[in-house]
């Protein structure tokens, strides 16, 4: 693509889609090019429901080309970024080259295995749609295998689940698995009626949901424990070999199912100066989201590290709201700069955080004057916020009816093993 008046956005997550939408709404004359390794946007906060069979993939994903088809100055390229050539205002993808006038990196994060190859090869991550489909397949395949075996030890390993990471994703997966055990498992698999179906939640910190309030942490832990989830805090998964999870204190848990939600890291791209990268490979940006050491490259969302916001001197939390707010302001600043107007520095408006635990149970820490909610009220808030955050009306409606069906029947008929890798 030889036209140099291209605003190229790498990554079609919260930040990338929001930025493209805002620029296109402004009737900007530049060509907006969105690059992503997938041809669809998806909603990461709900992939655990795909993984546990409570939502379909189509409920939380939508094709980029269909979403932006009414904009003649938008184009989509399915590809992966391999190198940036700042001197030539060019990026190299695995499928070709694109020139840019402005480059915005919104690539989010990837799963962090902290250098442990055994965990990387054998654990089940929870980061992408592919991860969610794979996890659902593995859970169902292992339940099928457990229902047939006469080996008690193997059956216990196949039906024991260990979740590494006590953040919102880990808590939500643990809660959803406990719902599966309570309402569905023994109806579908009467052969497994005698198994314990143990669910472990492990975190190296002294509490789950570390970024949230003490009230939320306490409520979430008590709710999970009441549901039969075994919580081990101050523990780190050291290794995972031959279906055995080894903890740092020397203890071990026999399980074929290690679900890894313990950490994320950003991606480093070839071609950017070393000074552009900070902790966790995040790109260091100024208060206008411009990457340090570059004239026309920007970064937004989880992949950037901004230390100029007075309330967040160590950088912002890697949350959807940060990504969306940064994208909105960057779009306004790009337009303002083109019109010779002043740009505004980014200041994060913290709208709070929340996590769902299980049916009718959630926690929400909201700004003044609301503060803390838990239980059914927090669960309703969580439902509303997540429905409204889906990309379009179709996804909102289908997800709502799926949830309504699950709530009224305490079931969901999406437990099919569909593995395209099998011939």
> Which member of 18, 21, 172, 179 is catalytic?
172
* C-alpha–C-alpha distance, residues 169 and 339, integer Å: 42
pLDDT of residue 272: 94
Q: 79 Cβ partners below 8 Å, 6+ apart?
A: 35, 37, 93, 94, 95, 96
* C-alpha–C-alpha distance, residues 353 and 321, integer Å: 9
CB 390 within 8 A of CB 60: yes
What string of H, E and C letters represents the secondary structure of 92-143?
EECCEEEECCEEEECCCCEECCCCCHHHHHHCEECCCHHHHHHHHHHHHHHH
Other beta carbons less than 10 A from residue 207's beta carbon = 17
* C-alpha–C-alpha distance, residues 11 and 317, integer Å: 19
Quick one: residue 340, left, alpha or beta (phi over 0 = left, psi -120 to 50 = alpha)? left
Furthest-apart CA atoms within the chain: distance in Å: 75
User: Is 368 among the residues known to form the active site?
Assistant: no
Tokens of residue 190, six digits: 């009467």
Tokens 């071990």 found at: 252
Domains and CATH numbers, the chain: 6-37+79-109+266-338 (3.50.50.60), 117-264+353-409 (3.50.50.100)
Q: How far apart are the first and last CA of the chain?
A: 38
**pTM greater than 0.85:** yes
* C-alpha–C-alpha distance, residues 379 and 362, integer Å: 5
Residue 215 to residues 222, 317, 380, Cα–Cα distance (Å): 11, 20, 18
pLDDT of residue 47: 94
- Of 138, 9, 118, 133, give the one whose Cα is nearest residue 61: 133
Quick one: residue 29, left, alpha or beta (phi over 0 = left, psi -120 to 50 = alpha)? alpha
pLDDT mean by block of 10 residues, the chain; 423 residues: 78 96 93 97 94 92 96 96 96 96 96 94 94 94 95 96 96 94 92 94 96 95 97 96 95 97 92 93 97 96 96 94 97 94 96 92 87 92 92 92 89 81 61
pLDDT of residue 420: 65
Tokens of residue 285, six digits: 């940006």
In whole angstroms, what separates CA 392 from the centre of its chain? 18
In whole angstroms, what separates CA 285 from the centre of its chain? 22
């Amino acid at each position: 693509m030889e036209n140099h008046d291209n605003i190229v956005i790498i990554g079609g997550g919260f930040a990338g889609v929001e930025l493209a939408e805002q620029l296109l709404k402004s009737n900007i004359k530049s060509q907006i090019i969105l690059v992503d390794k997938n041809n669809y946007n998806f909603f990461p906060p709900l992939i655990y429901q795909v993984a546990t069979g409570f939502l379909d993939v189509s409920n939380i994903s939508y094709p980029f080309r269909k979403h932006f088809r009414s904009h003649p100055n938008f184009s989509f390229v399915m590809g992966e970024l391999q190198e940036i050539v700042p001197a030539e205002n060019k990026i190299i993808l695995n499928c070709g080259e694109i020139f840019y006038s402005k480059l915005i990196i919104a690539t989010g994060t990837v799963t962090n295995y902290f250098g442990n190859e055994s965990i990387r090869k054998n654990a089940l991550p929870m980061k992408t749609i592919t991860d969610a489909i794979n996890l659902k397949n593995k859970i169902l395949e292992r339940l099928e295998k457990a229902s047939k075996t006469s080996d008690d030890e193997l059956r216990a390993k196949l039906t024991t689940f260990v979740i590494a990471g006590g953040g919102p994703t880990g808590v939500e997966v643990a809660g959803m698995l406990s719902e599966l055990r309570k309402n569905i498992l023994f109806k579908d698999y009467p052969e497994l009626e005698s198994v314990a179906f143990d669910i472990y939640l492990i975190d190296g910190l002294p509490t789950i949901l570390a970024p949230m309030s003490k009230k939320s942490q306490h409520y979430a832990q008590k709710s999970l424990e009441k549901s039969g989830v075994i919580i081990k805090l101050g523990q780190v998964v050291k290794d995972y070999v031959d279906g055995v999870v080894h903890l740092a204190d020397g203890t071990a848990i026999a399980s074929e199912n290690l679900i890894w939600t313990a950490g994320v890291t950003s991606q480093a791209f070839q071609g950017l100066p070393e000074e552009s990268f900070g902790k966790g490979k995040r790109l260091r940006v100024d208060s206008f989201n411009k990457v340090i050491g570059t004239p026309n490259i920007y970064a937004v969302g989880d992949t950037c590290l901004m230390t100029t916001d007075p309330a967040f001197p160590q950088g912002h939390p890697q949350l959807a709201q940060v990504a969306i707010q940064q994208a909105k302001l960057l779009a306004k600043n790009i337009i303002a700069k083109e019109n010779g107007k002043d740009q505004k520095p980014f200041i994060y408006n913290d709208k709070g955080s929340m996590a769902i635990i299980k049916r009718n149970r959630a926690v929400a820490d909201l700004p003044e004057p609301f503060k803390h909610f838990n239980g059914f009220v927090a669960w309703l808030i969580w439902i509303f916020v997540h429905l409204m955050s889906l990309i379009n009306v179709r996804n909102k409606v289908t997800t709502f009816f799926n949830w309504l069906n699950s709530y009224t029947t305490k079931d969901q008929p999406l437990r099919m093993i569909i593995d395209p890798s099998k011939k």
